[in-house]
Amino acid sequence: MTFSPEAYLWFKTLHIIGVVVWFAGLFYLVRLFIYHVEANEMDVSVRAAFYQQYQLMEKRLANIITTPGLILTVTMAICLLIAQPSYLYQNWMQIKLAFVVLLLIYHFYCYKLMGQLAKGECNWTPRKLRAFNELPTILLVVIVMLVVFKNNFPTNAATWFIASLVIFMAASIQFYARYRRLRSERVAKSVTNDL
Ligand code: HEM
């Protein structure tokens, strides 16, 4: 099948928009799981209302944003490959597809966690969920690098420097979040002791 060069650019535009929507959904979905699990620590009188609200938000986010983002990304990717089938025989594309499979497994695993949360059967801790929330960042960085550098994937010092910087930034955000959480727990405890 042949497409005009302009059609190819439209497919790529929509493919990138799909990627942005898909990832926004994945990042926020797991953040909601963290809040959902943290609701366990709330007072029994309000807990049920929070569970119900998070469950609704997760379901809407997954079905209205995240999965449509996936569908747009994959549909446009198929159109791109139909227009440019030679990409399928190139190493970078085969490696990219392997990472996309991991991303799809992640996506559907989120649905499994969502089901467990809805039934009150999820025994993941907030900490484990925070670590789980970092996985798509790694996949995103690798996939985007593969598609931009293609078969010239860089392994020089500048690449390692940028990779270390990204890891450092992600770790700093985690440490800061942990510091704030521990501080608010300490404040809550001292207020309870004062009463
Ligand atoms: C279903 C699997 C996927 C396939 C078959 C696929 C295929 C493609 C193809 C053929 C292109 C055009 C490359 C070019 O013209 O140079 C492309 C572009 C791109 N893809 Fe994918 N893709 C897939 C999933 C993804 C995912 C999950 C991401 C993000 C994590 C992604 C990010 C991008 C980006 C950013 C571009 C634009 C790169 C550029 O123009 O330099 N793709 N993809």
Spatial distance between the Cα atoms of 103 and 167, rounded to a whole number of angstroms: 19
Residues 97 and 160 in one domain: no
- Return the residue whose CA atom lies nearest to atom 16 of ligand 1: 147
For residue 113, the one-letter residue type is L
- Per-residue pLDDT of 132-153, as tens digits, reads 999 999 999 999 999 999 999 9
For the chain, what is the domain count?
A: 2
Residues 137 and 178 in one domain: no
Is the pLDDT score of 183 beyond 80? Answer: yes
- Per-residue pLDDT of 83-129, as tens digits, reads 999 999 999 999 999 999 999 999 999 999 999 999 999 999 998 99
Residues 59 and 78 in one domain: yes
Residues 159 and 148 in one domain: no
Is the pLDDT score of 192 beyond 90? Answer: no
Residues 69 and 163 in one domain: no
Residues 84 and 175 in one domain: no
Residues 49 and 128 in one domain: yes
CA 93–ligand 1 middle distance (angstroms): 9
Domain span including residue 192? 154-195
**Mean pLDDT score, 62-87:** 98
User: Could you identify the atom of ligand 1 that is nearest to the CA of residue 81?
Assistant: 10
CA 62–ligand 1 middle distance (angstroms): 22
CA 15–ligand 1 middle distance (angstroms): 7
Pocket around ligand 1 at a 6 A CB cut-off: 12, 15-16, 19, 73-74, 77, 80-81, 84, 87, 100, 103, 140, 143-144, 147-148
Residues 179 and 167 in one domain: yes
* Whole-number percent of the chain with pLDDT over 70: 99
CA angle 112, 72, 80 (to 5 degrees): 125
Spatial distance between the Cα atoms of 34 and 128, rounded to a whole number of angstroms: 9
CA 79–ligand 1 middle distance (angstroms): 11
Is the pLDDT score of 41 beyond 90? Answer: no
Q: Which two tokens stand for residue 78?
A: 């198929």
Residues 162 and 131 in one domain: no
Report the pLDDT value the prediction gives residue 193, as an integer from 0 to 100: 77
Residues 140 and 168 in one domain: no
